Chains A and B, each alone.
Chain A
Amino acid sequence: MEIGFGRFAGEPREQAGDDAGVLLAVSGRYFTSDFGSYPPTSNVFPTSSMGSHSTVNTAVTQKKQRRLLLGVGFTMLVLVLSACGTGGAQDGLSPASEKARNIDGLFTLTLIIAAVVFVLVQGAIIYTAIKFRRKKGEAPKPVKQIHGNTKLEIAWTIAPALILAGLAVPTVQTIFENAADPVNAVEITVTGHQWWWEYDYSDLGVITANEMHIPVGQDIALTLTADAGDVIHSFWVPRLSGKRDLVPGHENTLTISADEPGLYLGQCAEFCGLSHANMRLRVYAHEPADFEAWVQSQLAAAVIPADTDESLRAEGWELFISKGCSACHGINGTEAVGGGLNPGPNLTHFAQRDTFAGALYDSTTENLSAWLANPSELKSMRPDLNRGMPNLGLSDDEISALVAFLQGLD
């Protein structure tokens, strides 16, 4: 199958702004980081900018040494990491929100320190192995039986402890920063189902599935939960935030946001059974006005054919009721209330969605027809356990009618 990036494909991403600074514990400086850029450009992280944000007075020589050390680390990491971001819509190395950037900056700092330790330790291993190797054909040479050196031991106990203590400061800071209460937020309750997502904008009166729409530049306060009879899922849109689990009986919270309009992809990150791999999700970020327009379109009444209508769509609507679709799928303002033992996505404005089946398939006529013919063939499910859509044994004519009806749900 193909993943379409929808209408926002190719949106340029902005480089990280200056406010996305991360406390660099080693030097006490702030620096920005955006190593995940794609396509990689040679000046993603110009070394000259390193000093430009300097705010702390330190002894000049010390500063030089540190700068050299950091320079080595940066250059190395820029080389490595500039090739690392995929630029994909699900790429955690291309943060697109303040929180994601906080995380990315903290990770980059950790990675720099880890890279320095890596080079030192691996260098020591290789150097030692070469320097003290026994050459080919040489007899074993007696060497001094040294049992240890307490001063060295103390040194290499304290040094890592200090580095870690340094790392702990920005870590704790970021933990609390990212846990801060959202301000003036759009509130969405996310319910994880095997294997799709339900989004309830209770303040706005909007219910939708799999594709979340949000305004840019505003906090989105997610309440994450799962039905008591369901299992644990995890909401993860790497460019917008770290992940957080949806646990039956619990209400977790997560604040996300997006800097720029665009399509951000994610998927369930906690193994949730059979179709875990197929529980994907999309976040569409809009300019506030566009978001408002989207909300209005969602609040509009569902397009239901009149009783007198003789069209294919009207036939589909009749089938929707008579075949029992309405037992699981709700359509607001109609007799289709949905819910039930095996709840399926609310379909009030189904035709506005680009994808269906856990954001797995594009909503094309072909895909929808194949889905209605045998849902489990397109996506592994267990309708016998009330997990996913059953095969209703529809005829081709019935399928065309239902597809016409669904595509009319604008």
Chain B
Amino acid sequence: MATIVEAPPIAPSPPAPRGGIWGWLTSVDHKKIGIMYGISAFIFFVLGGIEALVIRWQLAVPDGTLVNEEVYNQLFTMHGTTMVFLFVMPVSAAFGNYFVPIMIGARDVAFPRLNALSFWIFISGGIFISSSFFLGGFPDGAWVGYSPLSTQSEVIRMDFWAIGLLILGVASLLGAVNFITTIFTMRAPGMTLFRMPVFVWMQLVVAFLLAFSLPLVTVGLFQVILDRNFGTLFYDAATGGDPILWQHLFWLFGHPEVYILILPAMGIVSEVLPTFSRKPLFGYQFVVFAGAAIGFLGFGVWAHHMFTSGLGPVAETAFGLMTMTIAVPTGIKIFNWVGTMWGGNISFTTPMLFSIGFVAMFTIGGLSGVTHSIVPADTQQHDSYYVVAHFHYVLFGGAVFGIFAGVYYWFGKVFGRMLDETIGKWHFWLMFVGFNLTFAPMHLLGLNGMPRRIATYGDGLGWNYWNFMATIGSFIIALSILVFLINAVRSYRRGVEAGADPWDGRTLEWTTSSPPADFNFAEVPVVEAIDDFWYKKYGEDEDHLPVRLDSNPLDPSALAPDADHHVHLPSPSYYPIMLALGIVTLAYGFLWIPAGFLVMAIGLGIMLLAIFGWALEDIDHPMGDRDHEGGGNDGGDGDEEPAGVGSEGSE
């Protein structure tokens, strides 16, 4: 901290903090970035959902004619790519960005500008991939992009896909580095690792999974791009290349990716269930270790996606058994969630319904996952609708239900007004029914021999009835999303005011005002226990039952929102968005080489400018308040760090 270098005089000054669009574009506030992540993710969710509806409409009857094969192949490729990379991952990043710092009692993330860069690269990558629609068509090689199908087609669609994923990978990697550093270095005094909320733990595990798995797929994606554009032969069997290599590289990333998608939702549910059961999470350490174990084991099971590619019985046995072991930590989590509810005083609020729905639906996805580890059985299930059913139970019944639990749980904290509970319950039940009607029949369709990724199917194979029902279900899901959007807009405008602690919460985010002040905490909290906030509100009587204490442990910013708390914050910056713009310009230019060289040069120029500006930027703007510390923090906090200048300087 002592070595903050004065910016050289040539550096332009950073923008003054201000509101409006410009304030959002240059913001380095983790909360604003979180909101932007969330809203853009939901826009992509709607786009991916529309693709899904077209798919289901096409498959409602045999020999569907709504779209042809060419369009259909693009639709399912983009549906998968969008939902995985542009919805679930960024929405988890949204929750992580917004709540990880607050839940550990920090005022921002470790690298605020890097955080902004991560978001702007994500949104550029998302727009880049989606813009292919106007530039020759969506990618059409499935979200797994198996070579040599992905490397042989002459149109640039799969370049959009490969380069887009590379860009998104950079965004995720930056986010991961930021989260890991934030969680390890920015925790409030007393917030030991094993006092952290499970949500934070799961974000930490996810960050490590990203950091270790993304490089693997990056290698593969570069090979795809080189094969496609420069005549390398990594995946060309004619010259000794091997298409199977891609499958190994992709799934070495792809399987951890599954846990990247589901663990944040597990974290959310691990926050919601205790709050509405009015009990601590059952078996906290076991849930944490189970999450870490799932992440660890996730690196050793990739080949279960390849049981039909001819691995041979020895490898099949090894990966089958390894896959089975994942069921153990998963089971531990499920049992602990039920244990959390057991003996509680459960109120069925909307977030609680979504959380219970998560546990129930995820259990089904977990059980069908076990059937995949039974290798011989998997040779029937693989690439059939059974698999489609399985991963939708995990990623929709699991991740999406968990995400909505989080949305209903934290909406009031983020926007200051609560989502409507009555509409929320309509949303839940519609989604629950629609989800099961859509995806439960797909188990059967797959077992009855229906392969996935087919644009049409023949009549007379016994698939008609359940396909039609699944299509009805998908439109019920769409209706439920519409209900949610209405709820969100309506509640944002005139919902019930949330107040600091609407759910009688247990964790630090509920001690701040809703929405939290820019600086999160006027007074850096001092943590003494897991669920610290709860134990500052409640003592114990002689029967060990909680008794409300005569205390008011809210942060001063929540008690006196208008007071001047003199907290210094990192300055906004032009450079993250500028750097992202440079990267995406470079990518667009690459698609049209040689004419694109000029565009690439422009992109490179923007990047260089942004990097120099970034490096030379005056990190301590005179507009900011140099008073680092808020009002008297009387905790014994020798190692406490100011969230503002110091950490920014070490970036």
Contacts and interface: CB of A to CB of B under 8 A. Distances in A.
Nearest to A273: B149
Given A102-B376, A248-B243, A142 B382 contact: no
Nearest to B238: A228
Interface in A81-105: 84-93, 102-103
B335 A141 contact: no
Contacts of B280: 145-147
Contact of A267 (B154, B367, B451): B451
B70 A243 contact: no
Contacts of B504: 140
Contacts of A168: 320-321, 324
Contacts of B455: 276-277
Given A153-B283, A171-B375, A244-B379, A164 B308 contact: no
B363 A277 contact: no
Contact of A92 (B73, B321, B449): B449
B364 A118 contact: yes
A23 to B, nearest CB: 13
A258 to B, nearest CB: 15
Contacts of B345: 132, 134, 140-143
Given A153-B283, A160-B327, A249-B243, A93 B448 contact: yes
B331 interface: yes
A273 B155 CA distance: 13
A90 B310 contact: no
A175 B320 contact: yes
A400 B105 CA distance: 81
B482 interface: no
B371 A271 contact: no
B447 interface: yes
Contacts of B312: 179
B244 A250 contact: yes
A168 B375 CA distance: 10
Contacts of B321: 168, 172
B332 A153 contact: yes
Contacts of A107: 371, 374, 376-377, 380
B568 to A, nearest CB: 38
A86 B463 CA distance: 8
Among A86, A157, A174, A265, which residue has the most Cβ atoms of chain B within 10 A? A86
Contacts of A248: 148, 237-238, 243
Nearest to B465: A86
A88 B448 contact: yes
A146 B73 contact: no
A232 interface: yes
Given A118-B364, A272-B149, A90 B317 contact: no
Nearest to A176: B313
Contact of A236 (B285, B363, B451): B451
A256 B332 CA distance: 40
A146 B282 contact: yes
A398 interface: no
Interface stretch (A1-9, A197-205, A332-340): A1-9
A257 interface: no
Contacts, number: 316
Given A3-B459, A248-B237, A132 B149 contact: no
B310 A244 contact: yes
A390 B540 CA distance: 82
B334 A121 contact: yes
Contacts of B456: 277-278
Contacts of A268: 451
A232 B371 contact: no
A167 B317 CA distance: 12
B236 interface: yes
A88 B460 contact: yes
A242 interface: yes
Contacts of A186: none
Given A107-B371, A132-B277, A146-B343, A125 B376 contact: no
Contacts of B375: 171, 174-175
Interface in B404-454: 444, 446-454
B376 A85 contact: no
Nearest to B348: A133
A154 to B, nearest CB: 9
A140 B335 CA distance: 24
Which one of B285, B384, B451 has the highest number of Cβ atoms from chain A below 10 Å of its Cβ?
A: B451
Contacts of A407: none
Contact of B448 (A3, A86, A143, A228): A86
B148 A103 contact: no
Interface stretch (A109-117, A308-316, A364-372): A109-117
A87 B153 CA distance: 38
A231 B140 CA distance: 14
Nearest to B363: A121
A9 to B, nearest CB: 10
B377 to A, nearest CB: 4
B453 to A, nearest CB: 4
Nearest to B244: A247
Contacts of B461: 3, 86, 88-91, 265
Interface in A70-86: 84-86
A84 B444 contact: yes
Given A86-B463, A144-B544, A168-B321, A103 B363 contact: no
B278 A228 contact: no
Contact of B546 (A90, A145, A148): A145
Greatest chain B CB density within 10 A among A107, A174, A269, A274 is at A269
Contact of A93 (B146, B342, B344, B447): B447
B284 interface: yes
A291 B152 CA distance: 39
Nearest to A251: B310
Interface string B99-134: 000000000000000000000000000000000000
Contacts of A252: 309-310
Nearest to B326: A164
Contacts of B241: 249
Nearest to A124: B338
Given A118-B363, A276-B69, 5 more contacts: A86-B462, A118-B364, A141-B278, A172-B320, A236-B451
20 contacts: A84-B444, A90-B461, A114-B367, A122-B363, A128-B338, A134-B346, A143-B278, A148-B336, A156-B332, A161-B325, A164-B370, A171-B375, A234-B308, A234-B383, A245-B310, A247-B237, A252-B310, A253-B310, A269-B308, A273-B73
Per CB-CB distance, the 9 closest pairs between chain A and chain B, nearest first, are: A242-B379, A86-B462, A249-B237, A228-B238, A277-B454, A90-B449, A248-B237, A252-B310, A148-B283
